[in-house]
A and B are shown apart, each in its own frame.
Chain A
Amino acid sequence: MGNQVFVLVVYVLTYAFLLGYTAYLLGRLRRGM
């Protein structure tokens, strides 16, 4: 199904953002900057 590509893009982008943002905030809190 060609449409599944659209679903995959949304899930990958959303999860990547959430994980990336978590790591970014954890890093800044730990280093205090």
Chain B
Amino acid sequence: MRVERPGMDGLSATLLGLGYLFLLAGFYLALKAPPDAQQGYLVRILYLHVASAWTGYLAFIVAGVYALLYLLRGRPAFDRLSAASAELGLWLSFLMVIGGMMWARPTWGVYWVWEPRLTSVAVMIAIYIGYFLVRQAIEDPELRAKAAAAVAILGVINVPITYMSVYWWRSIHQTATIDVINRRVHMPPEMLVPLFVNLAAFTLLYLAFLRMKGRLAAFLAAKEESDG
């Protein structure tokens, strides 16, 4: 039996289109935003750095939720979506680290320093690289999915640790600009709006990518089954 090629579906295309629309608006607003009193225009890195950090956390949390759903329900689709989300989380974390390093060099004088936030991010990235090593190492699909789910669920524990690291161990990295713990915003609206628009762009693009990857993985699994 031949399996139809997946192509693009309406929802993915809509999410993708909206995502790029917001990304364009976010770029324009980031250019219009005023310079920071201390950092000048260097603060423009924040709009992408924070957006990729937040969506990276989101992706890891979603990977953990799908992993849990897989263990509870045993549907292969949950395993595929968990893996897709973990991969996107890893890419977004790399973007976040690059943005952070480019921000650290001119402000702290170094690209990298082993302080709590950066160290917990390094641990988080190592865990999810481990996640894909586990997937590569196990051939039996069911065992692979179960082992990967365990790593994805354990990995999520590190997300709040990473987020809270700037409060628990005060060091060189600044605390959150939008402080959800103490319910304070350390930013004027002219900078807050571009940040939220970029955040929306990254979230929409993440959702589009997740759906596209999920459909692709479902197609490949069906094809493998029909090919025997």
Chain A interfacial positions (CB closer than 8 Å to B): 1-4, 6-7, 9-11, 13-15, 17-18, 21-22, 25-26, 28-33
Tell me the complex Cα distance, A30–B16, Å.
Answer: 16
Decide if B95 touches A32 in the complex (CB within 8 Å). Answer: no
Please, could you name 19 A-B residue pairs with CB atoms under 8 Å apart, sorted by A?
A6-B45, A6-B105, A10-B98, A10-B102, A14-B48, A14-B52, A14-B95, A14-B98, A17-B95, A18-B205, A22-B16, A25-B216, A26-B8, A29-B6, A30-B5, A30-B8, A31-B5, A32-B5, A32-B223
Decide if A25 touches B99 in the complex (CB within 8 Å). Answer: no
Q: Which residues of A contact B99 (CB under 8 A)?
A: 10, 14
Decide if A3 touches B42 in the complex (CB within 8 Å). Answer: yes
Interface Cβ pair total, 8 Å cutoff: 73
Kindly provide the distance from the CB of A12 to the nearest chain B CB, expressed in whole angstroms. Answer: 11
Q: Is B86 an interface residue (CB 8 A)?
A: no
Q: Is the interface of B mostly helix, strand, loop or mixed?
A: helix
Tell me the complex Cα distance, A27–B75, Å.
Answer: 27
> Of B57-65, B139-147, B183-191, B207-215, which stretch is located at the interface?
B207-215
Q: Is B156 an interface residue (CB 8 A)?
A: no
A32 and B6 in contact (CB under 8 A), knowing A1-B41, A18-B205? yes
Tell me the complex Cα distance, A17–B216, Å.
Answer: 20
A10 and B40 in contact (CB under 8 A), knowing A26-B8, A29-B216, A32-B219? no
B64-95 vs A, CB cutoff 8 Å, 1 = contact: the mask equals 00000000000000000000000000010001
Interface size on B, residues (CB 8 A): 33
Decide if A1 touches B40 in the complex (CB within 8 Å). Answer: yes
Q: Which residues of B contact A28 (CB under 8 A)?
A: 216
* Top-10 shortest CB links A-B: A32-B5, A6-B102, A25-B212, A10-B99, A3-B106, A3-B42, A10-B102, A7-B44, A14-B48, A10-B45
A21 and B8 in contact (CB under 8 A), knowing A7-B42, A11-B48? no
Decide if B212 touches A29 in the complex (CB within 8 Å). Answer: yes
Q: Is B128 an interface residue (CB 8 A)?
A: no
Q: Which residues of B contact A18 (CB under 8 A)?
A: 23, 205
Decide if A7 touches B41 in the complex (CB within 8 Å). Answer: yes
* Chain A residue at minimal CB-CB distance from B104: A6
- Given A13-B98, A29-B8, 17 more A-B residue pairs with CB atoms under 8 Å apart are A1-B41, A3-B41, A4-B42, A6-B105, A6-B106, A10-B48, A10-B98, A11-B44, A14-B52, A15-B23, A25-B209, A26-B8, A29-B5, A29-B212, A29-B215, A29-B216, A30-B8
